């Protein structure tokens, strides 16, 4: 099959990569669309030391697996847990010590014609949700995870730092709560998208320092984290949504002095994400910058890495 392969140094298109196989646990998925995200770009900078087929955002069709799923459109959770340890017993498979993570840790991902995913990880895509919407399920679920971890009240002032793809999704999800949401970004086109939805959005060049009850850092940068630390009011909450290959060198004293609660936030629940897409409560279509064929995957990754790029998709 065709697949993009990362060897730890270079990304290339492999025209004869061995296809995965289905078994009692794993279903074989024919990938329709796959999304390139910031984590993928960090992998190409050395994050997690991954080698193999990258990619973890996808929508596809089940080709081999349980008969009731064959031919169905699905999306899939990215953590491949053992199902036997104490974490798995608590429903925390995403923290399973033996887990593999699709396209990130020990398991090939979705930048290919086919990907193998545990049957238990699959979710059916509602009929009214287009492929171009369904491919956002995984990052949208990550945005909904904030609501699983933090109690958000309508009177809360919330700051989203970063107008990348995840930041734009987090802003929309938190706006659904009725809280006062502000997105801070660098790009006029993205600021405009949020304003059209009624979300307050400010360009960094026009920013005036202020304090917020909840700050979500989705910048993936050290300066972004510095600004996040400076923007949380005493006894507020800082939500970390970024994964970064580089090391930070910051003083954490303000967290102690101001008694700030820090929440690491990663993967999230798929059902609320799919429900929001089915009910058209969110805008994801305008977040797509371009769709490339898989054969132009290396070029697509270069596009996704451009400053200000929106979501870049691969069509397998």
pLDDT one-digit tens code per residue, 250-287: 778 889 999 999 999 989 999 999 999 999 999 999 99
pLDDT at 233 over 70: yes
241: nearest Cα among 178, 180, 163, 306: 163
Q: Which residues of 221-260 are buried (b: 16+ CB within 10 A; e: fewer)?
A: eeebbebbbebbeeebbbbbbbebeeeeeeeeeeeeeeeb
pLDDT one-digit tens code per residue, 91-144: 899 999 999 999 999 999 999 999 999 999 999 999 999 999 999 999 999 999
61 and 123 in a common domain: yes
177 and 109 in a common domain: no
145 and 93 in a common domain: no
Strands (E), 186-273: 200-203, 212-217, 232-240, 261-264
pLDDT at 77 over 90: yes
CATH number of 88's domain: 3.90.180.10
309 and 231 in a common domain: no
Domain holding 104, by residue range, is 3-136+284-315
Confidence of residue 239 (pLDDT cuts 50, 70, 90): very high
Confidence of residue 308 (pLDDT cuts 50, 70, 90): confident
Give the pLDDT confidence score for residue 96 in this predicted structure.
Answer: 95
CATH number of 229's domain: 3.40.50.720
| Inter-residue contact 159 to 182 (CB < 8 Å) | yes
Residue 154 lies in a domain: yes
| Prediction pTM value | 0.93
Give the pLDDT confidence score for residue 247 in this predicted structure.
Answer: 66
165 and 55 in a common domain: no
260 and 168 in a common domain: yes
pLDDT one-digit tens code per residue, 167-217: 999 999 999 999 999 999 999 999 999 999 999 999 999 999 999 999 999
Residue 273 lies in a domain: no
Work out how many domains the chain is built from and give that number.
Answer: 2
Give the pLDDT confidence score for residue 246 in this predicted structure.
Answer: 61
Confidence of residue 245 (pLDDT cuts 50, 70, 90): low
111 and 170 in a common domain: no
Which range is least confidently modeled, 29-33, 83-87, 171-175? 83-87
Residue 233 lies in a domain: yes
Give the pLDDT confidence score for residue 223 in this predicted structure.
Answer: 86
| Inter-residue contact 162 to 219 (CB < 8 Å) | yes
258: nearest Cα among 222, 229, 216: 229
Q: Which residues of 261-280 are buried (b: 16+ CB within 10 A; e: fewer)?
A: eeeebbbbebebbbebbeee
Give the pLDDT confidence score for residue 253 in this predicted structure.
Answer: 87
Name the DSSP class of 164.
S
Give the pLDDT confidence score for residue 47 in this predicted structure.
Answer: 87
Say if strands 122-124 and 73-76 run parallel, antiparallel, or are unpaired. Answer: antiparallel
Terminal alpha carbon distance of the chain: 10
Average pLDDT over residues 42-48: 90
* Chain mean pLDDT for the chain: 94
The residue to which tokens 């870049």 are assigned: 312
Give the pLDDT confidence score for residue 76 in this predicted structure.
Answer: 98
Give the pLDDT confidence score for residue 251 in this predicted structure.
Answer: 79
Residue 276 lies in a domain: no
pLDDT at 41 over 70: yes
Q: Is 100 exposed, middle or buried (0-12, 13-18, 19+ CB in 10 A)?
A: middle
- The token pair that represents 9 in the structure block: 């140094």
């Amino acid at each position: 099959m065709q697949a993009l392969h990362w060897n730890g140094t270079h990304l290339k298109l492999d025209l004869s990569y061995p296809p995965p196989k289905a078994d009692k646990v794993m279903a074989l998925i024919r990938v329709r669309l796959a999304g390139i995200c910031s984590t993928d770009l960090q992998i190409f900078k050395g994050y997690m030391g991954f080698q193999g087929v990258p990619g973890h955002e996808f929508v596809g069709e089940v080709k081999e697996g349980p008969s009731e799923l064959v031919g169905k459109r699905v999306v899939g959770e990215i953590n491949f847990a053992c199902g036997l340890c104490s974490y798995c017993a608590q429903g925390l498979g995403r923290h399973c010590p033996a887990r593999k993570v699709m396209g990130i840790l020990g398991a090939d991902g979705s930048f290919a014609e086919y990907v193998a995913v545990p049957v238990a990880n699959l979710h059916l895509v509602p009929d009214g949700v287009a492929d171009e919407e369904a491919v956002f399920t995984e990052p949208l679920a990550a945005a909904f995870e904030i609501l699983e971890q933090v109690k958000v009240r309508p009177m809360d002032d919330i700051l989203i730092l970063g107008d990348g793809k995840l930041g734009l999704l987090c802003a929309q999800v938190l706006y659904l709560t009725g809280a006062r949401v502000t997105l801070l970004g660098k790009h006029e086109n993205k600021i405009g998208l949020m304003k059209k939805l009624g979300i307050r959005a400010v360009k960094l060049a026009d920013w005036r320092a202020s304090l917020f009850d909840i700050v979500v850092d989705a910048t993936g940068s050290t300066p972004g984290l510095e600004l996040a630390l400076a923007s949380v009011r005493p006894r507020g909450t800082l939500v970390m949504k970024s994964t970064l290959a580089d090391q930070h060198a910051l003083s954490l004293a303000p967290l102690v002095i101001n008694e700030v609660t820090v929440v690491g936030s990663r993967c999230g629940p798929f059902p609320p994400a799919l429900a929001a897409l089915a009910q058209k409560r969110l805008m994801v279509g305008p977040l797509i910058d371009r769709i490339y064929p898989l054969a132009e995957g290396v070029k697509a990754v270069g596009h996704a890495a451009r400053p200000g790029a929106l979501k870049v998709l691969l069509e397998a």
